[in-house]
Amino acid sequence: MTVTTSAQSYGNYIAGAWRPATSGGTMENRNPANTDDLIGTFASSDAADVDAAITAAEEAFESWRITSPIARANILIKAAEILASRQNEIGRELTREEGKTLKEGIGETGRAIQILRYVAGEIQQPSGEHYPSMNPQTLLYTVREPLGPVAVITPWNFPIAIPAWKIAPAIGFGNTVVFKPASLTPLCAVRLVEALHDAGLPAGVVNLVTGSASKVGDPLVRDERITAISFTGSEQVGKELKKTVADRNTKLQLELGGKNPAIVLADADMDHALTHLVTGAMWSTGQKCTATSRAIVDRRIADELTSKLADRIRNLTVGDPLAGETQIGPVIDESAMQRIVGDIDKGRFEGAEVLAGGGRLSDNGRGSGYFVAPTLFGGVDPASMLGQQELFGPVLGVISVDGYDDAIAIANNVRYGLSASIFTRDLGKAMAFVRDIQAGIVHVNSETPGAEPQVPFGGYKSSSSYSREQGKASREFFTQTKTVYIDPPPGS
Ligand code: NAP
């Protein structure tokens, strides 16, 4: 395992300057693959820092809202270039901080770069519409205008891509931002904000405040100067945020959990389905909101598929995510590891059969990190905890079904509806699935994860607040509509 001993200190970024927390408090950030590896210390902030950040965002809004979208786009493009010049280095830091493999860390950094580039183009697209009027002399049209200072609150599992896909459209459309990243991944947040600063972003347009949910997140969402909140994280916190803003007019975007099904019909290309089931469920250690969590398989092929799936999952290489041969890294922290191992035990207790993995891995140097063996359950009852609850780890359950109708009923019978896939050669069944599945993102013959920046991202049911992120959808959330009537002066 690689250990870096020289850990740096990082502050908040408020009104264009890096500064320590007002209280002087700091928090450590350690590598989940090896807790001896201290990545850095970060500001452990509180309400005073949040207040300073919101004040800076409010002040900056006055000039940023009328800055040309073309000037804003040029800053995003420059920031993308800066990140691109550091992609491998930042990808490596992401891997040390979050635990996904180096290939995935570099890949996610590339995705953030792609998002900045895409948004730079999107904000230069036509905005608003021209309408006919009852009065032929009236010029009647709409414009989309920014909202004001917005809060961006992000999870740890995509520590640079998710902040980029919220912050780029937020500022691109003329808002200013107070950004509270997950406490477990503040370094990627610092790197993104550094790139924006170096690209010439004016002071106060983005303000970064690191620290806990209670001391930073809570005062941030309660402050009435915040006009909108874009949040990605757990369903439980999403529900709390709804209550927090219920008595004021704050726009709220929630991207929450998933329990994503992959249906495999009897006519599917089995080898292809196996490949996508493994990568969909296990890549990024299963810590994706879109990870495949339920393999819903036609009973006629279930035994053969399950046995081959178990072989492939047992043969995954789990270890130091910085090592080239590693396919699966650690989970994010000790509490996640305990929770996932506990859920695996509950799954056993419920009567499902462990066919691969089944607990913590602490041999071969893995004891100093949070490693969970990629786990496959057979014989999962769709109504059980394993069939219903988001596990957010490297755990996949197989549910056997009697054909398409049974599969779709079980796939839909969960509280979530983020992403879903089907493997089949039958075009009719594929099209029926696209029509019938209750999910915001639907795949035919590919794994459930996937979030290209040019298309909307979000879920049905408890997975989302109906609003969508990315693509053209980002304009909907980060702007409001003004309807304009212009009449000529009398006599002209
Ligand atoms: P989380 O515990 O809900 O935390 C998300 C963020 O919210 C963190 O920055 C956290 O701060 C902050 N936070 C927590 N409580 C808060 C409060 N009361 N007020 C304000 N901020 C608060 O989620 P997580 O464990 O980081 O992420 C995993 C979850 O995210 C999973 O359920 C996953 O499915 C979901 N997710 C969804 C998507 C999607 O697009 N649908 C994408 C990725 C992840 P601290 O870090 O300081 O606690």
Indicate if ligand 1 lies below 6 Å from the C-beta of 221: yes
Of 316, 296, 462, 326, the closest CA to residue 394 belongs to 316
The predicted pLDDT at position 6 comes to 62
Residue 233 alpha carbon, nearest atom of ligand 1: 30
Nearest-CA residue for atom 37 of ligand 1: 256
| CA dist., res. 39 & res. 225, Å (int) | 34
Residue 5, pLDDT > 80, answer no
Question: Which tens digit of pLDDT belongs to each residue from 466-485?
Answer: 999 999 999 999 999 999 99
- Whether the per-residue pLDDT at 3 is higher than 60: the answer is no
What is the spatial distance between Cα 90 and Cα 429, in angstroms, rounded to a whole number?
43
- Find the mean pLDDT for residues 167-192: 98
For ligand 1, is residue 154 a contact (CB within 6 Å)? Answer: yes
Name the catalytic one among 289, 390, 447, 469: 289
Give the pLDDT confidence of 21-72 residue by residue, as tens digits.
999 999 999 999 999 999 999 999 999 999 999 999 999 999 999 999 999 9
Q: Which residues, including other chains, have CB under 8 Å from residue 369's CB and lie 6 or more apart? A: 1, 31, 32, 33, 34, 35, 99, 320, 330
Query: Among 336, 28, 57, 47, which residue's Cα sits nearest to residue 214?
Result: 47
Question: Band of the pLDDT at 4, cuts 50, 70, 90?
Answer: very low
Average pLDDT over residues 304-323: 98
Q: What is the pLDDT of residue 148?
A: 98
Q: Residue 212: CB within 6 Å of ligand 1?
A: yes
Q: What is the pLDDT of residues 422-455, one digit of tens each?
A: 999 999 999 999 999 999 999 999 999 988 999 9
Residue 255 is a catalytic residue:
yes
Please name the residue whose Cα sits nearest to atom 31 of ligand 1: 234
Give 431: exposed, middle or buried? Use CB within 10 Å, 0-12, 13-18, 19+.
Answer: exposed
Going by the DSSP 8-state scheme, the letter that residue 86 receives in this structure is: T
What average pLDDT does the segment 131-136 reach? Answer: 97
| pTM (2 d.p.) | 0.97
Residue 97 catalytic? no
Average pLDDT, the chain: 97
Length of the chain: 492
Tokens of 282: 């296990």
Ligand 1 contacts CB of residue 108 (under 6 A): no
Order of all β-strands in the sheet with 34-43: 8-10, 34-43, 26-31
Closest ligand 1 atom to 155 CA: 26
- Please give the distance of CA 138 from its chain centroid, rounded to a whole number: 45
Burial class (CB in 10 A: 0-12, 13-18, 19+), 357: buried
d(CA 274, CA 425): 15
Q: What is the mean pLDDT of residues 218-235?
A: 98
Ligand 1 centroid to Cα of residue 307, in Å, is 35
Q: pLDDT at position 1, please?
A: 42
Residue whose Cα lies nearest atom 11 of ligand 1: it is: 213
Read off the pLDDT of residues 323-377 as tens digits, 9 standing for 90 and up. 999 999 999 999 999 999 999 999 999 999 999 999 999 999 999 999 999 999 9
333 Cβ below 6 A of ligand 1: no
Q: What is the pLDDT of residues 376-422, one digit of tens each?
A: 999 999 999 999 999 999 999 999 999 999 999 999 999 999 999 99
Count CB neighbours of 172 within 10 A.
25
Q: What is the Cα 24 distance to its own chain's centre?
A: 30
Task: Give the pLDDT score at 364.
Answer: 93
Task: Determine the pLDDT at residue 450.
Answer: 87
The best mutation among 49, 152, 153 to test binding of ligand 1, ranked by most ligand atoms within 8 Å of the C-beta, falls on 153
